[in-house]
A and B are shown apart, each in its own frame.
Chain A
């Protein structure tokens, strides 16, 4: 913070331009954003590693590394109504299907979705000068005299007194104040984001693969 200097009319006020010069604005603004981006990158990498290591198996034949989905087996029990003579029987037909684990495993799509950087800086400088010269002369002197005499046939009496007060006072008050206030708030919020479209397409493709397909009717021989 530059010091104020006396310019003849009192100390100069703090230059606002100088006060804000040298602030590491790139770090103040870019730092949290870069940290959030790194965090998102790390979480995305973790998520990819989780998906690849959990939902896929690798088959490395020395040339190309391929990923095959991990399949899990599910038992399907379907009630079937079979009409019989006079009644209807309900039978459960059980079958087994294989489903890619990717289609049922929960996905962790946590990411930093908002970063708010608030920087508030306040520079105050104030100069005030109060001069008070008070001159008051006050002296105190006392004196008295009296005399009696005759002027012709008359007797005269003269008396008097003198008083004088004197005092001097002066005051000079100069105030110079400067203050800095800085607030730096970074608010980061992370939450679940929507499943990436690519993953969604992949899951949908796997899910569609387990739907029954209609085969054409076989022609009678």
Chain B
């Protein structure tokens, strides 16, 4: 399961930023290993991502 998501760096496009999605909800920032650019989730989007993860957990619980 993709618990760690990899995003191409929006700044340098050379590095890949590994993101633990659940930690985004706590305000954690993840950095690009190439250019040190950090990405974090804005406060507005946290409920959206939290709801998505909540639905994912329910789906996992249903299928075992």
- A residues in contact (CB < 8 Å) with B: 42-43, 46-47, 50, 53-55, 70, 72-79, 96-97, 99, 101, 103-110, 190, 192, 195, 207-208, 210-212
Contacts and interface: CB of A to CB of B under 8 A. Distances in A.
Contacts of A104: 5, 7, 19, 21, 24, 49
Contact of A55 (B21, B41, B52, B62): B52
A106 B54 CA distance: 11
A43 B60 CA distance: 10
B11 interface: yes
Contacts of B44: 73
B7 A99 contact: yes
B57 to A, nearest CB: 9
A77 B37 contact: yes
Interface string B25-64: 0000100000111111110110011011101100110111
A109 B45 CA distance: 25
Interface of B: 1-3, 5, 7-13, 19, 21, 24, 29, 35-42, 44-45, 48-49, 51-53, 55-56, 59-60, 62-64
| A contact patch SS | mixed
Given A105-B56, A210-B10, A75 B39 contact: yes
Contacts, number: 109
| B contact patch SS | mixed
B39 A108 contact: no
A106 B41 contact: no
B8 A192 contact: no
A111 B62 CA distance: 13
A210 B35 contact: no
Nearest to A192: B1
A105 B37 contact: no
Given A106-B1, A106-B2, A74 B56 contact: no
15 contacts: A53-B55, A54-B56, A55-B52, A73-B45, A75-B42, A76-B11, A78-B11, A104-B5, A104-B21, A104-B24, A105-B56, A108-B59, A109-B1, A192-B1, A211-B10
Nearest to B49: A72
